[in-house]
Amino acid sequence: MWQARYVASRLAEHGFETKLVPLVSVGDTDLRPIDGTRQVGLFTKRIQQALVDDEADVAVHSLKDLPTQFDERFELAAVPPRETVFDSLVSENGITLASLPPGAKIGTGSTRRMAQLKSLRADLEILPIRGNVQTRLSKLRGGEFDAIVLAEAGVVRLEMHDLPRVQFSLEEMLPAPGQGALGIEVRSDDAFARQTLGYLDDSATRLAVIAERTVLAELHGGCLAPIAAHAIVTKSNRDGADELTLIAVVMSTDGTRRLEERAQCTLAPASAATNVTAAQLLGKTVAETLRAAGASELIASAR
């Protein structure tokens, strides 16, 4: 609801009135651990169906939940400026990972987080947890876990600034592809909605998440694979041109094996189509290098 209200408020700034259409996805009601028997799109299919059925004209997703498979019925009309990509360790007293007792119970529903936690502390007991932020916090406060891992973006958006937590560095915990970004979809044949939502698009964020999601798509990772990726647009120190830098990691679920690749490309000034192609090529290049190093085997073993 925060995400939908945010998009509505941004559209209002440009003079467009909106109406919120609350929906409930399977991912919201089915809190069983996500495993290989469950399909991707638990959080997005119901919202996309609302577009198909003309219940809504705009679908607002957490981009990291949106499947990478192309669907000609929809178009990603906008990717607004990204919120923070960091993950945080949340506990009753806001202690660091190193300060947790031996064998501490950590709650996360992500194999990406599990693998990186295990690589930092092999003694930890990583347990699945589902539900919204409030549900997860109630389980923490009820003593089921010593700590849980949350995306910092969700904490910030809910204005839970006093929540006791320690933010992981990117070296400790690389984010999921698309983490912290919103993906706003419309029907591909709805020219008015596509043009309207275009006002909210942030080119730097879009190029970054294209590169990240291309890695995920090329490695056929889906939501279960221990794949992390982060891309960012920066100014070159040499000539001031914009550069897109991408780092991606594939790990074994026990954290003992880690494959990492980093690459970058120079972006063309004022050439959106060329830069989208460059971001896709960057993602493909990084994925190919990871695959050659054995990423496919690590991904297969996680399923």
Residues 81-132 pLDDT 10s: 999 999 999 999 999 999 999 999 999 989 999 999 999 999 999 999 988 8
Q: Is 189 a catalytic residue?
A: no
Superfamily of domain 1-81+181-201 in the CATH hierarchy: Periplasmic binding protein-like II (3.40.190.10)
180: left (phi over 0), alpha (psi -120 to 50) or beta: left
Q: Exposed (0-12), middle (13-18) or buried (19+): which is 256, by Cβ within 10 Å? A: exposed
Give the whole-angstrom CA distance, residue 64 versus residue 61: 8
Is residue 286 a contact partner of residue 259, using CB atoms and an 8 Å limit?
Answer: no
Q: Which of 28, 30, 65, 202 is catalytic?
A: 65
- Residue whose token pair is 């204005």: 159
How do strand 227-235 and strand 147-151 relate by DSSP bridges?
unpaired
Mean pLDDT of the chain: 91
Domain with CATH 3.30.160.40 in the chain: 202-303
Q: With cut-offs at 50, 70 and 90, classify the pLDDT of residue 236.
A: confident
Radius of gyration of the chain (CA): 19
In this prediction, residue 222 carries a pLDDT of 74
Domain with CATH 3.40.190.10 in the chain: 1-81+181-201, 87-167
- Residue whose token pair is 């809190």: 31
Using DSSP's 3-state secondary structure scheme, residue 260 falls into: strand
Is residue 207 a contact partner of residue 108, using CB atoms and an 8 Å limit?
Answer: no
Q: Across 64-194, where does the E strand assignment appear?
A: 74-78, 87-90, 105-107, 125-127, 147-151, 165-167, 182-187
Q: How large is the average pLDDT for residues 198-223? A: 94
Least confident window among 76-85, 97-106, 215-224 = 215-224
Top CATH class, 87-167 = alpha beta
- How much helix, strand and coil, in percent to the nearest 5, is found in the chain? 35, 20, 45
Q: Is the pTM of this model over 0.85?
A: yes
Superfamily of domain 202-303 in the CATH hierarchy: Porphobilinogen deaminase, C-terminal domain (3.30.160.40)
The amino acid at residue 119 is S
Is residue 110 a contact partner of residue 222, using CB atoms and an 8 Å limit?
Answer: no
Q: With cut-offs at 50, 70 and 90, classify the pLDDT of residue 20.
A: very high
